[in-house]
Homo-oligomer: A and B are copies of this chain.
Amino acid sequence: MTQIPERMRALVLKEDGFSGRFEGPAIDDAHRWLELAELPVPQPGPGQVLLRVRRATVNPSDLHFIKGEYGQPRRKGTPAGFEGCGDVVAAGPGAEGLLGRRVAFVATPDGSGAWADYALTAASAAIPLADAVSDADGAALIVNPLTAMAMIDLAAEGSPAVVLTAAGSQLGKLMIALARDRDLAPIAVIRRAEQAPALEALGAAEVLVTTAPDFRERAAAAMRAHKPRVLLDAVADDVSAALFEAMPAHARWVVYGKLDPTPPRVTAMGQLIFMGKRIEGFWLSRWLAETPRERQAEVVAEVQRRFADGRWHTDVAAELPLAEALDRLPEALRAGGKVQILP
């Protein structure tokens, strides 16, 4: 067993609760919300494990959270970071079975965040990793992959196709590959045309570029050709509303992110009535609370198989040492691809 020090470095929150604003996940200056601090290494309680962090991932949900616009309140002075991978170096009563294992994990609200040398979480939120899964994939094994699996399950209910906004994101790419494997035609919606070839190579049935002059016509034609029933939407702007309006009867607009901070004008209210459409949200935390453990275990096993055999892959755009993360984060996020933090 490794020697556990008494103190650790962590990126800790500078504010409490919610901000009361909604600006979206863009970050100009990470120092505004976080600072590098030294803290005591936390001790695992019953059912908890302590991890020496190998890598932590920066997801949009982390950025919303540190800015105070996520579904749970901040706690000033506590480490940020929802997701990572690491080695279990201590375990509380009932969690000893994980000691010494390399795991993927998400930080639970009663634990301590992943952007730190050490992190504390519930044993149930730590997944032992197969050897074939790299640290880079292990550090991004839960938030995006489980969301992808759950949302594509949802889209597959009677749909011949699925529409994905922000389709060039890591999550978008996971979903395109998964949808294609399930014989569900993925319609990828992106802003920048240069992403199109990569998404077509992954299996996108159509790529719609929102900035193209013929976007509306191409979107309408794609909807007629593929008849998608579900829009998996990370943007939630007027373009999303227009896509929803172009979709056939019984379409579901499933919002899971809000990259654009302005509220969309919903042009399709009459379609809610006459065409049985609806608008709803997806949050992984709710899925985890509502999905039986056995189904979650199946999904996790499938996720590991997909990373282990190379069907899925995490595109890491930048690896930031913990001490440099605050200075380098805004620029690293602009590159496209995942940013990971290495203690």
Contact = CB atoms under 8 A, between A and B. Distances in A.
The interface residues of chain A, by DSSP majority, are classed as: loop
A256 B273 contact: yes
How many copies of the polypeptide does the oligomer hold? 2
Contacts of A283: 273-274, 276
A312 interface: no
Contacts of A280: 272, 277-279
A69 interface: yes
Given A263-B267, A263-B269, A269-B263, A274 B236 contact: no
Contact of A281 (B257, B267, B272): B272
B286 A269 contact: no
B279 A279 contact: yes
A239 to B, nearest CB: 13
A280 B278 CA distance: 4
A265 interface: yes
A284 to B, nearest CB: 10
A330 interface: no
A70 interface: yes
A272 B286 contact: no
Interface of A: 22, 69-71, 236, 241, 255-258, 263-283, 286
Give me the 3 closest cross-chain CB pairs, A-B, nearest first.
A71-B274, A272-B281, A273-B281
